[in-house]
Amino acid sequence: DLVYALPPNGQKRWDFRAGADIEAAPAIGDDGTIYVGSDDDKLYALAPEGTLRWAFTTGGDVRASAAVGSGVVYVGSFDSQLYAVKLDGTLAWTFRAGDRIVSSALVDSRGGILFGSQDDRLYCLEPDGHLRWSVELGGDVDSSPTLAADGTIFVGSDDRKLYALRAPAAQK
């Protein structure tokens, strides 16, 4: 339940105690703000010196790593929602998937927000939270998607397969 800041020499600079276990890696914004979720249903924003800037409460454990987009932090929760939280800690929007979200979000070059859910689906949302597309895979999508240079989306599933997908062409 602790986040530590360690410089290259390994001497602890600071630590921050959340209200429960921290299961995901922190994300760092352009201004140095550190975003990390916890099993206390919160997404924390920490200043570079380790002080709390704000805490945003979701409806379930936050085990997915956050993704920082253009003025927004995206994070999934065990309450089956992906949250878009503004950099001031206020809610921009939510999107409800069919089951818990453990997968970390990824923002693609077209602003799409990609993430998986335990409903066996990989989702892509528009920057405003509307569904761009989704695809059903063979099992829970707990792994985080990644993008290749050519735009191929790679994501693993609980069906023991690694999927290589192409996003549908942009609508005109």
| pLDDT interval class at 71 (50, 70, 90) | very high
Question: pLDDT tier at 172 (50, 70, 90 boundaries)?
Answer: very low
DSSP character string of 54-104: EEEE-SS---SPPEE-SSEEEEE-TTSEEEEEETTS-EEEEEE-SS---SP
Band (pLDDT 50/70/90 cuts) for residue 169 is low
pLDDT of residue 109: 86
If you write DSSP's letter for every residue of 94-141 in order, what string do you get?
EEE-SS---SPPEE-TTS-EEEE-TTSEEEEE-TTS-EEEEEE-SS--
| Mean pLDDT taken over the chain | 94
CA 130 vs CA 14, 56, 74, 81, 102: distances in Å: 39, 22, 14, 13, 20
Is the pLDDT higher at 61 or at 171?
A: 61
Question: Average pLDDT of 10-15?
Answer: 94
Task: Measure Cα distances from 98 to 48, 78, 79, 121 in Å.
Answer: 35, 11, 10, 8
With a CB cutoff of 8 Å and minimum separation 6, the contacts of 32 are: 47, 48
pLDDT, tens digit (0-9, with 9 covering 90-100), for 104-160: 999 998 899 999 999 999 999 999 999 999 999 999 999 999 999 998 999 999 999
pTM score over 0.95: no
Judge whether residue 13 has pLDDT over 60.
yes
Per the CB < 8 A criterion, the answer to whether 57 and 79 are in contact is: no
Q: What percent of the chain has pLDDT over 90?
A: 91
